[in-house]
Structure 1
Amino acid sequence: MKKIIIIYVYTVFSFLYASNLEFYENSYAVLIGINNYASDDIKDLGYAVEDAESIANLLISKLGYNEENIHLLLNEDATQINIKNTLYQIAMEAGENDRILVFYGGHGKTIPLPSGGEVGYLLPVDGKRENLYSSGLSMQEFKQISEMTSAKHVLYLVDVCYGGIMTVATRSLAKNDFNDDEKYLTKITTEAARQIITAGGKGDKAQERAIWGHSAFTKELLSGIEDGLADSDQDGYITSNELGIYLSKKVYITSEENQTPVNGR
């Protein structure tokens, strides 16, 4: 089996599958997918649940995750309190040599602030548009979770379009600083890092279609990893630059120019 290694170089973040390299003691995932919202004024989605389930399968088959460490919160289980409790549980459980992946597929909204800037919210299944502060999930809460955990690496994949996404601490490390690929991989997987990738920017419209069976973002994410398409130089691992460029181009085309993924770094 060809090894698949995904490395988010800009933040020294790595997600990988490799038979001969072990960089993590444990790998955790919280995967949230909401098709059917409780509130009548929130439009239901068609494939957010399928997106979350497909990512779970990808984590197990390609990225070395144990099924018992993957927490799926789908539809009625994806309440605000369940999401918060699960994130907190995993954040506290993860050790300093562990990694956490959080995927969210559903609705989100960006609110402008009177003082300037904006704040993004994700809508849990019981969320209400008219009161996002008390019923939604602020992106700042996700930032707090990433700061509370001892986990070495935390990655957020947010299948929602935002203008101002959560900012996280970043570091950078150039591959040409090392002559040996394995030393390079070991170095970057030793450094603590947090990363976020959203499905698009402000004003973008996240797309999903029956012919895909997924959203545009998740469709191209799965293809980029499963088929190695995001590995532009075919060297066996995917940097965040490669993945970002791949998703930006592919999702932009697939969505018919409606969305372009954004990296937070």
Structure 2
Amino acid sequence: MDRIVQFGDTVEGYPIRVVNERTVRAAAGLLFFPAVVSFMNALLTANYQPTRLFVIVFLIDMALRMVNPRYAPSMIVGGWIVRKQTPEWVGAPQKRFAWGLGLLLGGAMLYLMVFNRYMGPLNMLVCASCLTLMFFETAFGICLGCKLYNLFNKEQAQLCPGGVCEVPAQRVGWGLKLPQIAMLVLFLGAITLAKGWVDTTGAVSGGFDEMATLEDMGLKPVAGAPADAKAEAERCQVPAFAKAIGHEAQWKLHNGCT
């Protein structure tokens, strides 16, 4: 039973239980991709079904992590993907705290969206929080939830990714030097110029009514498109969630409504 219900691995030379940070980051990426796809699908098309399904998947995965990370589906797949990489062992206690936070957020979404079908700003806030946590984990190896661990526990976190928990005598890192700062400034300047050019040369700034039609491009309309005014009016009814967050005009824009 100990092998099934245990959090973290015991590795010789490490004073506490540990987990493989490479697997954790891979698992975060595997969850982040469907999360952002379902979130944007709900935001732009008002179709919440993929999000509701993802919430269930996310909650199951987080619950299994709390019992034993080795049995969480995202950790299984992520571990297999990085199986040829040298493990980077990090402290398990702070990871458990962070995943517990994720489980709490997932539980809130389960209650609000899956069971009660509540759609509104609160959902957006919870979803954005989850996306932020997963993005920082998979992109930068920064566990934001782990940083809160020290605020609620007397024993400080050990064995953090990149050794950030232990202050080295002399930091030798990437840093920022004047040529790098200058390059960032030039990059931002180039983006500003590019935006100005796009704004002056684009022909779709006013909405879909200024875009070339399918007939203009020599294409045929998609079969099954609304043919009468009544059907078009029903299709373009702005959902309550878009009105609640002040997203009415944007929703019409993305759905081709005037």
TM range (shorter): under 0.3
- TM-score (normalizing by structure 2): 0.26
Identify the structure with the greater helix proportion: 2
Larger Rg: 2
Report the TM-score, using the length of structure 1 for normalisation.
Answer: 0.25
Higher relative contact order (CA 8 A, sep 6+): 1
